[in-house]
Amino acid sequence: MTDRRAGLGYFASNVRFYLLYLSRSRIEITLTFLLPLFYATVAHLIAESGSGRITPLEITLGAGLMGMWTTVMYGAGGLIKEQRRLGILELLLAAPGRFPSAIATMTLAVALFGFEAMLGTLAWGYILFDARINATALPALTVAATLTLLAMSAVGFMVAAVFVRVRKAESVAEAVVAPLWLLSGVLIPVSTLPDPVQAISRLLPMTFGAEALRAATRSVWDARAIAACLGLSLLYGAIGWAAVNAAAQSSRSRGGMHLW
């Protein structure tokens, strides 16, 4: 019990450390807040010229998710790149603690950092586009938003295994950010996508997180979407843990990072 408590304390203190580390960069803070506002503005303008079937709140939440995902991918890649530049990543690899735990704290901290952008986007949508949240929808929205945050963190953790082995992690981030916006249906329902694409979308936990958020805006608890989001997040987290651990063991056997 003591070891478990110590492990949780280590994990929480690491997440707090990386949150503070990310908060020291004015550029990171500015981009994290401004990009989702740009996404929200463009999304609302597109919706106003379209059919109008999506509510302003759904559009705002979708733009916030786009911002969160951008923050997770670029933030996690940039954070690992910075750790490598400072020579800390190798020290984490050689440390007696579990290397996947150290990487998991980075991805969770970046996801929490991106969640702040979600809150800013909601405020922007309320001020400019009258995207109001009903009090009755708050419990469902809170649960759905928390699960979506964990889903993004889990997927980011899995992708972090690649980040650890790639010299320019931001290049990987650039390649996957936009496609995952489309596949996860953060702005448009997945049902509007072609059937083959829908099949791929159903493999992403963020897809079900976005569905749960849409339902929550109408004060509806989408139990199927919530369960699918949670289950896939746990699966991605397990795959990420195994992949990061495999990368660590491979690097230790080689006596150093084997980078692409």
Q: Render pLDDT for 129-139 as a digit per residue (tens, 0 to 9).
A: 777 888 888 88
In terms of C-beta density within 10 A (0-12 exposed, 13-18 middle, 19 or more buried), how is residue 10 classed?
A: middle
Residue 4 forms part of a structural domain: no
Residue 227 has pLDDT above 90, yes or no: yes
Position 107 scores a pLDDT of: 84
* Whether the Cβ atoms of residue 110 and residue 179 lie closer than 8 Å to each other: no
Residue 259 forms part of a structural domain: no
DSSP H/E element including 137:
none
Position 258 scores a pLDDT of: 55
Range of the domain at 53: 10-254
Question: What is the average pLDDT score of the chain?
Answer: 77
Q: How far from 217 is each of 88, 142, 222, 249, CA to CA, in Å?
A: 43, 11, 11, 45
Q: At 186, phi and psi to the nearest 5?
A: -70, -25
104 vs 32, which has greater pLDDT?
104
Q: Which residues of 134-157 are buried (b: 16+ CB within 10 A; e: fewer)?
A: eeebeebbeebbebbbbbbbbbbb
Q: Render pLDDT for 57-97 as a digit per residue (tens, 0 to 9).
A: 877 787 788 778 877 877 777 777 777 777 777 777 776 66
Q: Render pLDDT for 211-223 as a digit per residue (tens, 0 to 9).
A: 888 888 888 899 9
Q: Which residues of 181-216 are buried (b: 16+ CB within 10 A; e: fewer)?
A: bebbbbbbebeebeeeebeebeebbbbbbbbbbbbb
Residues shown for the chain: 260
54 vs 107, which has greater pLDDT?
107
Residue 3 forms part of a structural domain: no
Residue 34 binned pLDDT confidence (cut-offs 50, 70, 90): low
Domain count, the chain: 1
- The arithmetic mean of pLDDT across residues 155-178, rounded, is 72
Residue 28 forms part of a structural domain: yes
Position 49 scores a pLDDT of: 47
Position 260 scores a pLDDT of: 45
C-alpha count within 13 angstroms, C-beta hemisphere, residue 202: 9
Position 231 scores a pLDDT of: 93
Position 235 scores a pLDDT of: 92
